[in-house]
Amino acid sequence: MNWTLLGIWIGALLTLCIYSFLYKDNPFYKFAEHVYVGISAGYLLAQDYWVQLRPNLFLPLWNDYAQGQVHFGFIPAHWYLFIPGILGLLVFTIFIPKVSWMFRYTLAFTVGVFSGLAITAELSARVLPQIGGTLRPLLELQNGHVSPWETFCNLFLVVGVLATLIYFFFSKEHKGFIGAGAKLGVWYLMVAFGAAFGYTVMARISLLIGRMQFLLGDWLHLMR
């Protein structure tokens, strides 16, 4: 049996089922959608074991016991892995109404860790570099002369950052000076969104071309 050929046929039929959705909802799409959700959930669960749980939790602990790396005869060298292990198991308390609140300990731990990390990360990776990058001399010198164009661009950039920031003021009504700044900010936002949209179009079309090359080439052999 030619497994590759079978695979290409499966892939092609699933591709067509998904595309049928563009016309309207139909049994083919429903079929592909449910198969996709099911397979991906199962696939990721199996992968989860191989990529996360096994190498990060089970394998280190197993090796500790297998190689006798234990303190006091039973505490493994990687004893601290029991903490996330127990926190992980606590999530299953939601199935037992009486102790379901224990689930919150896992939640609180996770939320605490990542909120704490976010505080320093937002500052060091976003606020400071973005401000530092905007602080540039307005006058751009080229061969000892002021370049009017470069200077204009710098000014245009700085004004844009300020106007966008003013748009995000919440404690003042958008009237008067703040209103004008916010309005300018909206214009900058619109240009930015339009540009980013236009920039992405080509990359999205090449995705479709890729699928069509699969259907017309690998499957139907119409392209050569």
Partner 1 sequence: MSFLTKALTLDRRWIFLAIGIVVILFLLIPITLPVDVTPESQGVYDTIEALPSGSPILVAWDFDPASKPELEPMALAVIKHCFRRNLKVVAMGLWITGAPLIEQDINQVKANGFQNKKYGEDYVNLGVKVGGYVVVNTMAQSIKDAFPTDYFQTPLEQLPMMQNLKTLRDFPVVISFSAGDPGIKDAWVPFAHQRYHCIVAGGCTAVSVSEFSPYLQTRQLSGLLGGMRGAAEYEKLVDAKALATKGMNAQSFAHLMIILFIVFGNVAFFLTRRKRVQGAEGPRVQG
Partner 2 sequence: MMKREIPLLITFLTGLLMVVQFFVPHRPIGQIGTGVLSWYTIIAGFTLLLGIDSLVGMHLKKLQRKQSGWGYSIMLILGLLLALGLGIFSEIKYGSALAFGSPFMYLYTYMMVPLQATMFSLLAFFIASAAYRAFRARTLEASLLLVAAMIVMLGRVPLGAAIWGKFPILAEWIMTVPNAAATRGILIGVALGGLAMSLRILLGIERTYLS
Partner 3 sequence: MQNYSRLRSGFRKAQQLALNNHHFKNQGLRALLLFAWLALLASTSSAALAPPEDIKAFDTPNDAGGSNTITWKASPDDSLLLGYSVKRNAKPEGPFEEAGVVLKGQEEFQDAGLTDGQKYYYRVDARVLGDSASSAVAGPAVPSAQWFNLGRVNILAFIMLFAGVVLWYIARAKKGAKLFIRRIAGLDAVEEAVGRSTEMGRPLMFIPGLLSIDDVTTLAALTILGRVARKAAEYDTPVLVPCTDPLVMTTAQEIVKQSYSEAGRPDAYREGNISYLTYDQFGYAAGCDGMMLREKPGAVFLQGYFYAESLILAETGHSIGAIQIAGTTAVDQLPFFVTACDYTLIGEEMYAASSYLTREPIMLGTLKGEDLIKLLIVLALTVGVVLETFGKHWIQALFQ
Which one of 2, 120, 142, 206 is in contact with partner 3 (CB under 8 A)? 120
- Amino acid identity, position 9: W
Stretches 56-64, 66-74, 119-127, 211-219: which one binds partner 3 (CB under 8 A)? 119-127
Residues that bind partner 2 (rule: CB under 8 A) add up to a total of 114
Under 8 Å between Cβ of 91 and 109 = no
The span from the CA of 104 to the CA of 124, in Å, is 30
Under 8 Å between Cβ of 87 and 105 = yes
Instruction: Give the three-state DSSP class for 125.
Output: helix
Stretches 70-78, 110-118, 137-145, 171-179: which one binds partner 2 (CB under 8 A)? 110-118
Which one of 68, 97, 137, 144 is in contact with partner 3 (CB under 8 A)? 137
Report DSSP state, residue 105.
H
- Least Å distance, CB 142 to partner 2, is 17
Establish if 222 lies at the interface with partner 1 (CB under 8 A): yes
Under 8 Å between Cβ of 167 and 185 = yes
Retrieve residue 26's tokens: 């139909």
- Residues between 87 and 126 with contacts to partner 1, criterion CB under 8 A: none
- Residues between 153 and 192 with contacts to partner 1, criterion CB under 8 A: 167, 174, 182-183, 185-186, 189-190
Stretches 67-75, 128-136, 137-145, 174-182: which one binds partner 2 (CB under 8 A)? 128-136
- Least Å distance, CB 93 to partner 1, is 37
Report DSSP state, residue 145.
E
The span from the CA of 125 to the CA of 67, in Å, is 42
Tell me the per-residue interface mask from 20 to 49 with partner 1, x by CB under 8 A, - otherwise.
--xx--------------------------
DSSP 60-97: HHHHHHHTT-EETTTEETTGGGHHHHHHHHHGGGGGSG
Establish if 62 lies at the interface with partner 2 (CB under 8 A): no
- Residues between 141 and 200 with contacts to partner 2, criterion CB under 8 A: 153, 156-165, 167-168, 185-200
